[in-house]
Amino acid sequence: MLTNFTYVRPNSLEEAFKHLSSEKSRVHAGGTDLLGCLRDQVFEASRVVSLNNIKSLRGIKKSTHGRMRLGALTTLREVAGDSEVKKHYTALALAAAEVASPQLRNQGTLGGNLCQKPRCWYYRGAFHCLRKGGEECFAVAGENAFHCIFGGESCYIVHPSDTAPALGALGAQIHIRGPKGKRSVALEDFHVPPSDDYTKETRLGQGEIVTEIELPPPVEGLRSSYRKVRARQSWDFALVGVALALILKGDKVQKARVFLSGVAPVPWRSREVEEVVTGKKLDEGIVSKAAEAAVQKAKPLGQNAYKIPLLRGIIEEQLLAIARA
Ligand SMILES: Cc1cc2nc3c(=O)[nH]c(=O)nc-3n(C[C@H](O)[C@H](O)[C@H](O)COP(=O)(O)OP(=O)(O)OC[C@H]3O[C@@H](n4cnc5c(N)ncnc54)[C@H](O)[C@@H]3O)c2cc1C
């Protein structure tokens, strides 16, 4: 059941910051995650602050030195369908197209996709788990088929976003504004691992808003992809996923950035895969070695060891697809 809250729709960021000063204020973008959280009482809000009248937060545009800026309120449908994103930042277009269903992509925004709450059924359900201020993570001894195999420490969620790993692979910067001014963080530093703080998902402080996501200029030889495996063909979150951004020179990999989804509490950078493929030709031997390296440090729980061969398989598949493109 939804409890009562005040709903405001400011016309500027400055006005929004005033409304967001109290701890019980929440940002509303598309609302596809926020309203579910309020209904299920994952957290409370006394005031919901819609960003929808702030026009500067919308749209995709080229910025200085060939960079690309995507406003936080840009919908996932717009990201997935933009011709420049598809051409130069393929992994992001593919990832946005993999989120949920057409209806949710019409409504859901890129900023909301990065800031959404985890989908752990204990966290979302009527359980006073560690992340909600309780004493334990119920997934450790409970139903953990969809939980993490990397980076679990005290809390074993997986990060639910499809676009975050793609943005990580592409080297995105997240631009943030708040009552104290502007700042930017790399995508890979934006999310908080449980080892740092198991009660937070992002580095946003009180009243701060993601305003834009910025991508570096397209580089010659860049090939990127996003592949997600889900339990069913219809809308679903990733069981495992991989975002690759490789810069090829001739038939060799000059630079690689690899992020995994569905396997860790944050978009998980696989430096192991990056190290194996950098400087190498992507032949079957290297690809198989890279996929093996990716899973070496996995620590499955009781019911999710199936993620290991699945992950190995899609890493091989995607590296070979890039090599043969
Ligand atoms: C049935 C279903 C299936 C889904 N499947 C997927 C999936 O397969 N993959 C996937 O990645 N996601 C999935 N989602 C999750 C989610 O709805 C989408 O990711 C969507 O992009 C969230 O965006 P939104 O604009 O609706 O966010 P909102 O619901 O408005 O906000 C989400 C959270 O982010 C905060 N927030 C929003 N925008 C900002 C901002 N600019 N600055 C600071 N904080 C902000 C809000 O306060 C809230 O806590 C699914 C959701 C549902 C309901």
Pull the structure tokens for residue 196. Answer: 């740092």
- Ligand 1 nearest atom to the CA of residue 36, by list position: 53
pLDDT at 103 (0 to 100): 97
Q: CB of 210 closer than 6 A to ligand 1?
A: yes
Tell me the pTM.
0.98
DSSP 3-state of 192: coil
pLDDT at 94 (0 to 100): 98
Which residues are CB-neighbours of 199 under 8 A, at least 6 positions away?
131, 133
Contact 275, 196 (CB under 8 A): no
Q: What is the mean pLDDT of the chain?
A: 97
- How do residues 246-271 score in pLDDT, each as one tens digit? 999 999 999 999 999 999 999 999 99
Residue 149: phi, psi to the nearest 5? Answer: -120, -5
Of 116, 204, 229, the residue with max ligand 1 atoms within 8 A of its CB, to mutate for a pocket test, comes to: 116
Q: Ligand 1: distance of its center to the CA of 106 in Å?
A: 12
HEC string for 272-321: HHHHHHCCCECCHHHHHHHHHHHHCCCCCCCCCCCHHHHHHHHHHHHHHH
Q: In whole angstroms, what is the distance from residue 218 CA to residue 114 CA?
A: 22
- Ligand 1 nearest atom to the CA of residue 210, by list position: 42
Strand partners, 176: 183, 210
DSSP 3-state of 55: helix
Q: In whole angstroms, what is the distance from residue 73 CA to residue 183 CA?
A: 18
Selection from 184, 165, 287 nearest residue 226 by Cα? 165
Of the two residues 63 and 52, the one the predictor is more confident about is 52
Q: SS3 breakdown of the chain: % helix, strand, coil, rounded to 5?
A: 35, 25, 45
Q: In what order do the strands lie in the sheet with 222-229?
A: 222-229, 240-249, 252-261, 268-269
* Structure confidence at residue 218 as a pLDDT band (50, 70, 90): very high
Q: CB of 32 closer than 6 A to ligand 1?
A: yes
Residue 63 has pLDDT above 90, yes or no: no
- Ligand 1 nearest atom to the CA of residue 115, by list position: 34
Give the single-character DSSP code of 79.
Answer: H
Q: CB of 99 closer than 6 A to ligand 1?
A: yes
Residue 219 has pLDDT above 90, yes or no: yes
Q: CB of 70 closer than 6 A to ligand 1?
A: no
Q: Ligand 1: distance of its center to the CA of 50 in Å?
A: 13
**Do the bridges between strand 47-50 and strand 25-28 make them parallel or antiparallel, or are there none, so unpaired?**
parallel
Q: CB of 76 closer than 6 A to ligand 1?
A: yes
Q: CB of 78 closer than 6 A to ligand 1?
A: no
Instruction: Tell me the mean pLDDT in the region 157-184.
Output: 97
- How do residues 291-318 score in pLDDT, each as one tens digit? 999 999 999 999 999 999 999 999 999 9
Q: CB of 36 closer than 6 A to ligand 1?
A: yes
Sign (positive/negative) of CA torsion 71, 75, 79, 84?
A: negative
Residue 3 has pLDDT above 90, yes or no: no
pLDDT at 242 (0 to 100): 98
DSSP 3-state of 47: strand
